[in-house]
Structure 1
C-alpha cells in the first residue's frame, strides 16, 4: 500500500525549512509514500524547489487571518484520498488542524524552530507559539528537528509519546579541496536569509576586529535579505566598521556548493531561533570547518573542538577569537574538515532524515 501524504507549506521563501520540505518530498516516494504540496503563499518555493515532479496545489491565503482555504483543503483531503497531512509552520498548522479534523485525517506537525523566539517581533512570536501549542493538541505526532526543540515542545504540554526527534539532513556533496598551507588570506563565509536573529552584525564586528589586528580576512555573505530595511542596516554597519570593501554580498544562489568551496571557514553567528540549521549541515558535508553559536540544535550537530568551534551568541570578541584559533593553527583545519564530513555522513544525510520521517508516518498510520 502506498500512503498519500499532503505537505501544507507557506511557500514564501526558500530557506532552511523549505529545503527540508523539498528534500523530504524528493526522498519519501522511495520509502512508500505518495507526496504532494499545498502552498498557502506566493513566493520562491514553487520555482526554486528541486522536487518539480511532486504536485503543488495553490491554496493561497489572502491574508494572515484568511481561513477560507480551510474548506478547500478539507475537500482536497477527502477527494484526493490523502491519509495524512503534514504541516510545517504555525500558519499551516492552524489550517491543517481544522481541515484534518473535518476530513478525519491524522496530522503530523514539524517543529523547525522555536515559535516563541523565532524572530525579533515579540507579539508575533507569542501569537505563533499559542497557535502552535493549540494545534499540537490535534496532531497525532510532532517531529522536532533537534533534541532541544523536542524538550521545548514537551515543556509546552505535548505528550512526550507523540514527540519524535528527526534531525535535519542534507545530501552528500563534493568536498572542498584541502586548504593550501602556504596561503595567508582567509575567506569567512556565511549563508542565510539575512534577518535580525541571524546575528550578522556580530559577524561584521568580529571581521572588523580581525582586520584591525592585521589578519587578512574577508567575508563572503551568501543569501537574500528578509527586508530591504535589514539590508540597509547591515550594509551601513559594514561601512561604519570600515569593512564594506571586505564583504561580498552575493544574493540568493542555487549553486551553494560553488560558494561553499570559496570559503575557508563557515560562520553562523545566530542569536537565537535555530532548530537544526541546514547551512551548517551543508558546510559539514562539504568539509568546510564551522564556527557557530550555541543556540538550539547547532551545538547538537557540531561537536565543539572536533567538527568546528562553538561560541556564545552575541559576542564579537569570542567569535573573532574562535576564527583566530584556525588562522593561527591552534585548531587543525584539515582534521576538523575530515571530522565534519564523516559526522555528516553518519548522522545528517537527507536519506536518514527521510527514513526517520517515514517511520513517524508508519507509526501514525499503523503501517508497521
Structure 2
C-alpha cells in the first residue's frame, strides 16, 4: 500500500509586519507552493498588514517580541558604538526566544526572508540542528548597504545557510565567493492575470512612478525629469503613487512642498498617495517610470508594469537590466545615457537629464513604445510567472531537507 508522505514543515522568519517587495514576493510564493509538499507557517517580529494578509490566506502566523530591534534601519545599525551594543543585546534576547520557538515547532526547514532574519538565524539555527535557507532580496554591496554591514552579511552567507535563493543575478553576484555553488536565482514571480490589460495603440494617461517614497526609489529624480520635460511638452501630466515608511516621511513632505512651490510642477504633478490597487494604478498610466538612483536588487514593479501593457522607462542598474534586456544584448543607444531594448528604455541611474530624454522619446515615439510594450508583456508573462518561481524554490527546499536528513541518518 502506497502512503503519501506528510508535507515538509517550513518556518519562514521575517522581521517586519509591513508589506514591501520582499514580503510581496513571499505572499505570492506561499500562495503558489504545492500544499501537499510544503506546510508553511510564518514568524514575524511585529504586527502589521503582512500578518493580516497571511491570516486571510490561511497561513499560520506567530509573533515574537524583538524590542527595539524591529525598527533599526540599515543606516542606523552602525550609527554609533552604543547603537551596535544595544542592537547586539536585542539580537541575543530575540535569538533566545526564537530558539525556543523553533524547538517547539520542530520544522524541517527554516527560511530567512530578510537581512535581520538571517542574522537571527545565524545565532539560532546551530542550537536547533534545523537547516536554513536564506531568501536574499538585498544586494550585499556598499552602494546599497553600509560597507561594514555588506561585508558582514557576505561572511554570514558563507558560513550560515545551507543555500541562498537570490532574487536576481545582480543580487547573487554581490555575494562574491560566498555564493559559489550555494546560490540559486529565483526571480520573484507574479500572477500575470492580475495585471494583464491589452496593449492599446492610442494609450493615453499620465507619466507615473509607483512605489514606496524614499531617497532610494527615485521620486526626487522623477520630479527633476518632470521639470525638464514640462518645459518642452507642457501638456504632459505626471502622477506619483505611493507613500513613505516612517523613517522617510520627512523626505516625502519635502518633495510634496517642492512640488507645490514649483511653477512648472504644481499643476502638472499629482501626488496620489498610497494605493492598495497597484494593477489599477499601473493600467491608468500612459508611461511607467522606474527611477531608482541606487541599483535595485530586482524590480518587481517593473515586471508588473510590463504585464499591465504599459510602456516602461527604467534605470539601467542592478537587477532591472535582467528584466528589460535578459540576453544582455546591449540595445540601441538613442540618446546620452539612454538605450532602447525590445521591451523598453533603460536609463543611467541618478541622471535626471537622461531620464527626461527617455520620457520625451517614449512620448514622441508612440508606435515604437507600443511595440515595446507588447513585447514586454509577452516576455514578462513567459519569464516571471509565479509557477516558475515556486518550482525553483521547491527544488531548493527539497534538496536542503533531504541532505539534512541524510546527515542525521549517518
* Aligned equivalent of 2:345, options 286, 309, 320: 309
Supply the distance in 2 between the matched residues of 1:113 and 1:314 (Cα, whole angstroms): 19
SS at match of 2:342: coil
Could you report, residue by residue, the CA deviation over 1:39-80 in whole angstroms, capped at 9, with x for unpaired residues? 013333223458631111101310122132222322222222
Which residue in 2 is equivalent to 1:194? 213
Alpha-carbon shift at residue 135 of structure 1 (Å): 2.5
For residue 213 of structure 1, report the CA deviation from its aligned partner.
0.5
Please point out which of 341, 360, 371 is paired with 1:324.
Answer: 360
- CA distance in 1 between counterparts of 2:386 and 2:324 reads 17
Structure-1 residue corresponding to 2:293: 271
1:217 counterpart SS class: coil
RMSD in angstroms over aligned alpha carbons?
2.2
Q: Say which SS state the counterpart of residue 249 (structure 1) adopts.
A: strand
User: What residue ranges of structure 1 are gaps of 5+ in the alignment?
Assistant: none
For the residue of structure 2 that corresponds to 1:7, the secondary structure is strand
Deviation at 1:187, TM superposition (A): 0.9
Q: Which runs of 5+ in 2 are unaligned?
A: 70-86, 326-339
Which of 113, 119, 124 is 1:88 aligned to?
113
- Contact conserved, 2:135 with 2:164, CA < 8 A, in 1? yes
Matches within 5 A, 1:223-238: 223-226=242-245, 227-238=248-259
Does structure 1 residue 106 correspond to structure 2 residue 106? no
Q: Which has more radius of gyration? A: 2
SS in 2 for 1:263: coil
Q: Judge conservation of contact 2:172–2:179 (CA < 8 Å) in 1.
A: no
Asked whether 1:288 is paired with 2:310, we answer: yes
The answer on whether the counterparts of 1:25 and 1:35 sit within 8 Å (CA) in structure 2 is yes
Give distance in 2, aligned partners of 1:188 and 1:220: 6
Alignment check: 8 A CA contact 1:113 1:273 kept = no
Q: Is the 1:69–1:95 Cα contact (8 Å) retained in structure 2?
A: yes
The 3 A distance-change label for structure 1 pair 117 and 239 is farther
Deviation at 1:236, TM superposition (A): 2.8
Q: CA deviation at 1:29?
A: 3.6
Q: Is the 8 A contact 1:28 1:35 kept in 2?
A: no
Alignment-derived partner of residue 143 in structure 1: 165
In the alignment, the residues of structure 1 paired with residue 218 and residue 100 of structure 2 have an alpha-carbon distance, to the nearest angstrom, of 43
Q: Take 2:367 and 2:344, find their aligned partners in 1: how far apart are those partners? A: 9
Selected match of 2:104 from 63, 79, 83: 79
Return the TM-score normalized by structure 1.
0.91
- Asked if 1:220 corresponds to 2:256, the answer is no
Deviations 1:114-172 (A, max 9, x none): 144475xx6xx23532442243111100111111111111x1x3141101111111111
1:167 equivalenced with 2:203 (yes/no) = no
Which TM-score applies when normalising by structure 2?
A: 0.82
Other-structure match for 1:18: 23
Q: Determine which of 49, 59, 68 is the counterpart of 1:63.
A: 68
* Distance (Å, rounded) in 1 between the aligned partners of 2:101 and 2:54: 22
